[in-house]
């Protein structure tokens, strides 16, 4: 059986909390804005409203920022998952009639939906990078000894944030 140090357990817990809060912010942000990118409305550009743009570009940026701020170093990688999880669940619910599709709307083709999810995930990643920059004060490959302090009570080489 693998034994995890206390630092690993704390980091895992921070990751789970960051992921859950990111998913919750994404879900409730979608509900507040009233936008469902899984659905298309009308022909052409009619379905793209300013609220749609906020839901695809602005909201995911803040979700990524939140996830990276909670998780810390490596949060930019974890920030990819909340929009992916929420969007997949939402599309599944519409596809299997768990949620009724409003009149005048139809389920987006899978290719279009995947493109919208990629846009949301990438904006979330940009927010994750900004959150990590805010946490570290720098970005890039900085030597670990300049960013993290060595743990004085443990000789296993563990570092703490």
Say if residue 104's pLDDT is above 60.
yes
Report how far apart, in Å, the C-alpha atoms of 58 and of each of 14, 84, 108, 136 are: 24, 16, 21, 23
Q: What per-residue confidence (pLDDT) applies to 32?
A: 95
Across-strand partners of 160? 149
pLDDT in tens, 50-65: 998 999 999 999 999 9
Judging by beta carbons within 10 Å of its beta carbon (0-12, 13-18, 19+), is residue 149 exposed, middle or buried? exposed
Say if residue 13's pLDDT is above 80.
yes
Report how far apart, in Å, the C-alpha atoms of 53 and of each of 16, 31, 82, 160 are: 28, 15, 18, 39
Strand positions, DSSP E, 28-101:
39-41
DSSP state, residue 100 = P
Contact predicate 127/79, CB 8 Å? yes
Across-strand partners of 149? 160
Say if residue 10's pLDDT is above 90.
no
Query: What is the mean pLDDT of the segment spanning 110-131?
Result: 93
Contact predicate 142/136, CB 8 Å? yes
Query: What is the mean pLDDT of the segment spanning 71-75?
Result: 85
Give the model's confidence band at 107: pLDDT under 50 very low, under 70 low, under 90 confident, else very high: confident
What does the alpha-carbon distance between residue 46 and residue 40 come to, in Å, rounded to a whole number?
9
Say if residue 150's pLDDT is above 90.
no
Residues in the chain: 161
Helix or strand holding residue 107 (H, E):
strand 105-107
Say if residue 117's pLDDT is above 90.
yes
Report the share of the chain in percent with pLDDT over 70.
80
Q: At what angle do helices 81-95 and 59-71 cross, to 10 degrees?
A: 130
Q: Is the pTM of this model over 0.75?
A: yes
- Domain ranges within the chain, ordered by starting residue: 7-34+54-138
Judging by beta carbons within 10 Å of its beta carbon (0-12, 13-18, 19+), is residue 48 exposed, middle or buried? middle
Cα-based angle 48, 120, 55 (whole degrees, multiple of 5): 45
Both tokens of 103, joined, read 């009149």
Give the model's confidence band at 86: pLDDT under 50 very low, under 70 low, under 90 confident, else very high: very high
């Amino acid at each position: 059986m693998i034994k995890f140090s206390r630092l690993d357990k704390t980091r895992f817990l921070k990751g789970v909390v960051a992921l859950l809060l990111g998913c919750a912010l994404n879900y409730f942000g979608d509900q507040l804005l009233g936008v469902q990118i899984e659905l298309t409305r009308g022909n052409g550009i009619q379905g793209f409203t300013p609220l749609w743009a906020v839901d695809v570009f602005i909201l995911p940026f803040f979700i990524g920022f939140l996830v990276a701020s909670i998780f810390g170093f490596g949060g930019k990688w974890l920030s990819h998952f909340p929009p992916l999880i929420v969007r997949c669940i939402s599309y599944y619910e519409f596809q299997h009639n768990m949620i009724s599709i409003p009149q005048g709307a139809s389920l987006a083709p899978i290719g279009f939906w995947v493109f919208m999810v990629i846009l949301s995930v990438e904006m979330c990643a940009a927010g994750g990078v900004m959150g990590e920059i805010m946490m570290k004060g720098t970005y890039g490959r900085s030597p670990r000894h300049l960013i993290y302090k060595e743990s004085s009570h443990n000789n296993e080489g563990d570092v703490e944030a």
